[in-house]
Structure 1
Amino acid sequence: MTVYFDLENLVSFLKLAKAEETRDTYRSVLSHLNIGFNFSKDEVKQMSADRDTVSQFLNQMNSGRNNLVHDFLKDKFPARPITANFKAHAPAPLPLGSIALINDENLSACKAAGNAFIGGVGEELDILKQLRRPDDFKFQKDVLVGSPEFSNWSQLTPDVLPFHDLIISDRYFLRSDPDTFEHNYRGLLTALLTGKRTKVSIVILALKPKQPTRPDHPAPWVFEDYEAVTCSIAERLTVHAPDFTLVWADNEKELPHGRNIITNYQWFNSGDSFMYFWPNGQLRGQGDKLSISSLADRENRQLAQKVLIQLQEKLTPLLAKPGAVLGNGVSSYLRFE
């Protein structure tokens, strides 16, 4: 994950970071994030004010950063003038969740889109502190499914960070009856997409639903059913039709075992299928832990990248299997060609 600073934003960040209560945010930048500077070393030398402050920070880039990288960019990122979908134009390969702290007059539309962490001069700490827990220098929150803290999907919304890519990998995600699936899927997707005003790509990897064992049981959904409910939820909340892709397999060996949701800035990991609740809202299982991890943490990010590699390894053989991959085939992190 890379944080990009315009020079004015870096000066603002360093001034704000002097306060005692902001030192953990300063520490998180130094210890966990790659940094892109939208200015040159010569521009720093030509500064009449704050040159020493900036130079001292730049000197810290060369030691104790645990293989994190920094770079002085010839071309500013994001490109200017900024657009609401600037993430689509990030350098390849697209990094997980870039943060843009820039001085640009067109920021309002980008922030309203809810698809990325982006802020102007004076907003640096407000943006960066959202990447970790407010109560401590931690980047992960664990909740017990079925507890008062998490007894319905709507309680997840306050913990959701911006995104424009959503990957749900859960073998048994489609194996419940249609009512149970729709109840959980609507709840999950609504919790994740609330506050977003941007086009999102949604990818689901799961086993195909089972055929009914009795004639009075409901028929399993087909792709068009999953597509329709996904589009109805996404369009209602984001005002944009999503890119939707369904990857479904016939047997368990074709998919990873883990239950993971990955977005541009977060990784949700569950010990059980995400089908947590019955249609009446009651807990289906015994309750399990849902881990919500920020990818601003280096170790979380490295593990999430490994999960993405495993997903791609399972996905690639399925691309040649007729009917296994349906939909738009759009993702910043998975390849569909």
Structure 2
Amino acid sequence: MLDKDNTRLKSEYSIIAHDPNTVELRAGVWNPKSITMTDENHNDSLLPILLGIQQGNDSQQIAKDCDVNRSEVESVVDSLLEAGLVCENQSGALNDLVERQLSMRMRTDTSSEDIILVGDSSIVSLLRQQLVSAFPDKTVKDVSGSPEEEKLLHIQDDDLTDGLEREKISSVFSAWGNALVVCALENSNPLLFRHLDVISEVVGFNWIHGTVDGPYIFIGPTIIPRRSATYRDLEKRVMLNLQELASYQKFKTALAMDRVHNQKNILSPPLVGLLASFLALEVINWIQAGANYTVNKVLGIYLPTMEIAYHEVLPIPGSEGSGAEPDRDMETLYFDPREWLGTDNLESR
């Protein structure tokens, strides 16, 4: 329960005064949320009261400054509470961090991360150009043709369900431990993304992907191992809902059996630029500020109508934390009582 004397207007809302008795509270620009409040008594006090609430003043102070009764101030606060436009006025910047940034900001020190680029050269080269321009003193490494990329392209699903084999494969990527890995593909490859997802949990690197999938461009999510939604969560919550399930599963089966013939889907330069630019913005925000807009979210662009939206991707409770399945081959307990007592003894009883 919020204390009415310890509240302020949420920082994302701007006060737009049409006159002292008609005030609009607006959040956002292109698709704004807007609520208009009016004072039917025309006392010219609504605007100064809202300004006082925005500054975090208590009801008594606002009533004194506006020369109104305290009950009038509390009536405005009640209306704001009902609309969900106020929050606790605890600590200014810290409160704003918790309110707006916590879902995005999962780490505080990302400035030391190197940037590793993997994927199709048409996108990676443009992406590297933009990132080197933004971070001239930072290592931005294109690993095309490296042993790591070669290994990543030839991993089989079964390799990552065996714990020992998974650790062995992941050791190839140990140099990526303190890096942000960026995977950019012209054609979506769900198996490759899943493999990268599992490896990131073992090695501990953060990663983000961008790809074209049919009529969509997808950017993100930015994945922080064991702290945010994974690619597997994205696949279950969003991807399967956007596509016909049976055909999507057939496509994944064909990928697993190496029966997909990658006829090069040559993207037009504007689409390559669009994908690279949106992906670069997420990377720059993450490295520069430790926050971006795709932690637990994926940016989707539907090209036929140029619809752009962020889809929320929440971690699935109880989902696998890694690729290992330690109980996969177990049929009985490690210590079978029949071995201690002897089958004959059990049957005789």
TM, length-normalised to structure 2: 0.29
Q: Greater helix percent: which structure?
A: 2
Higher RCO (CA-CA < 8 Å; seq separation 6+): 1
Q: Which has the larger radius of gyration?
A: 2
